[in-house]
Amino acid sequence: MIAILGAGSLGRLWAASLPAQSAAFVPRPGALPGDPVRFEFQNLAGATLNATVPWLTDCSQVDLLLVMTKAGDTLNAIADVADKLPENAPVVLFQNGLGSQQAVAERWPERPVLAASTTDGANRPSEHRVVHAGAGETWLGALTDAGQAQVQPVINRLRSSGLTLHPEPDILARLWQKLVINAGINPFTALLDCPNGDLLTEDLFLSHIDGLCTELAQLMTADGQGQVSPADLRHRIETVARNTARNTSSMRADVQNRRRTEIDFINGYLVRLGQRLGIATPVNQLLAERVQQLSNHQQEHPH
């Protein structure tokens, strides 16, 4: 049985794509497993299917755990179930940003822990409807020694979903590539409350992007990710912003919906890394603080 922790859009996309009866959602601790989760799932062909996903009742039957919680909830959510899961069941982490993945690998170094980086996206236009937004790809790689031998078996298993998967020998490098994009788009779109493409002409972005990319390049080199030029990073960020011009970034959506953002695992992670490595990160710090202030303000002044 494949257990899925986190029944948000991504969790539902995978649950609906895997063969019926092969996946179940992990209930919150103490919650009685209730009625199965039922929702409409619109696949890439535009067809609407009715998905029914049960709640997990027996952790001992789990042979694979997919973790699709928000980065900030991940460690506690896994800690709630870790003792009940078979020790050899691979744990696959789908979180955005960096920091939460390493925290899980450090806490359970003996377990097969893998990380995934995915461009498959789903959105949830209403409570009971999930739309597979575009064909993406998912790369999977090991974070612990015990995870190395599990990468290919996990990919083979997950291919039954019909989603595209590849092994990634250097998953950290791939997570870094996505982190650069998220660090350069998400906080600006949240602060400016604009779709991704609109930032390209905004003063806030134009006055900080080169400073941000200089910090990113220094951090990447010091963290063993090789030499990259700030101009190249800026080009990558702007290309994604242009290619996803009408999209609402996940951070803008979190702020709009008064949910906790993942800033601590994006620009906040880069600030902490800079402190460890002795690299000044004033732009990341400014962005992290301003997004934090924006979310605090919203929690204090609900509409």
The site for ligand KPL (CB under 6 A) is made up of 181-182, 185-186, 196, 240, 244, 247, 249-250
Closer by beta carbon to ligand KPL, 42 or else 117? 117
Closer by beta carbon to ligand KPL, 249 or else 284? 249
Closer by beta carbon to ligand KPL, 146 or else 220? 220
Nearest approach in angstroms of CB 243 to ligand KPL is 9
Nearest approach in angstroms of CB 121 to ligand KPL is 8
Q: Which of 111, 178, 234, 252 is catalytic?
A: 178
What is the sign of the dihedral through the CA atoms of 26, 158, 244 and 286? Answer: positive
What does the block give as tokens for 141? Answer: 């790689």
Residue for token pair 């242009």: 242
Closer by beta carbon to ligand KPL, 247 or else 267? 247
Nearest approach in angstroms of CB 196 to ligand KPL is 5
Closer by beta carbon to ligand KPL, 37 or else 233? 233
What does the block give as tokens for 148? Answer: 């190395």
Nearest approach in angstroms of CB 182 to ligand KPL is 5
Query: Is 84 noted as a catalytic residue in this protein?
Result: no
Whether 284 contacts 212, CB under 8 Å: yes
Nearest approach in angstroms of CB 261 to ligand KPL is 10
Report the alpha-carbon distance of residue 240 to residue 205 in Å, rounded: 14
Nearest approach in angstroms of CB 80 to ligand KPL is 26
Closer by beta carbon to ligand KPL, 65 or else 172? 172
Give catalytic residue positions: 178
